[in-house]
Amino acid sequence: MRRTVVAALTAAAIAVPALTTAAFASAPPAAVASQHSSHGTKNKAAKFTASGQVTAVDATSVTLYVRSGTKNVRKQTITVSVADDASVRVNGRRGTVADIAAGYKIDLTGRSTADGWIASRVAASGKVKVKPTPSVKPTPSVKPSPSVEPSPSVEPEHSDEPETEHSSEPSDD
Residue by residue, pLDDT tens for the chain (173 residues) are 667 766 666 666 666 555 555 555 555 554 444 444 444 445 567 999 999 999 999 989 999 999 999 988 899 999 999 999 999 999 999 999 999 999 999 999 999 998 899 999 999 999 866 666 667 666 667 676 666 666 666 666 666 666 665 555 555 55
Q: Is residue 159 part of a domain?
A: no
Domain enclosing residue 105, as ranges = 46-125
Q: How many domains does the chain have?
A: 2
Q: Enter the pTM of the model.
A: 0.50
Nearest to 98 by CA among 152, 62, 135, 45: 62
pLDDT of residue 61: 94
120 and 100 co-located in one domain: yes
Three-state DSSP class for residue 8: helix
29 and 58 co-located in one domain: no
78 and 121 co-located in one domain: yes
* Residue at 141: amino acid letter: S
Nearest to 123 by CA among 95, 90, 79: 90
54 and 105 co-located in one domain: yes
Q: Is residue 92 part of a domain?
A: yes
Distances (CA, A) of 147 to 3, 105, 141, 143, 152: 132, 63, 17, 11, 15
pLDDT of residue 44: 66
pLDDT of residue 13: 66
* Cβ-Cβ contacts under 8 Å for 153 (sequence gap 6 or more): none
Distances (CA, A) of 150 to 145, 147, 153, 154, 156: 15, 9, 8, 11, 18
According to DSSP, the β-strands at 77-90 and 116-125 are: parallel
24 and 72 co-located in one domain: no
Q: Is residue 132 part of a domain?
A: no
54 and 91 co-located in one domain: yes
Cα(101)–Cα(148) distance, integer angstroms: 60
pLDDT of residue 127: 85
CATH at residue 114: 2.40.50.320
54 and 27 co-located in one domain: no
Cα(112)–Cα(99) distance, integer angstroms: 24
34 and 104 co-located in one domain: no
Cα(103)–Cα(34) distance, integer angstroms: 46
Q: Is residue 6 part of a domain?
A: yes
| Ramachandran angles phi, psi of 4, nearest 5° | -70, -40
pLDDT of residue 173: 54
pLDDT of residue 45: 74
112 and 55 co-located in one domain: yes
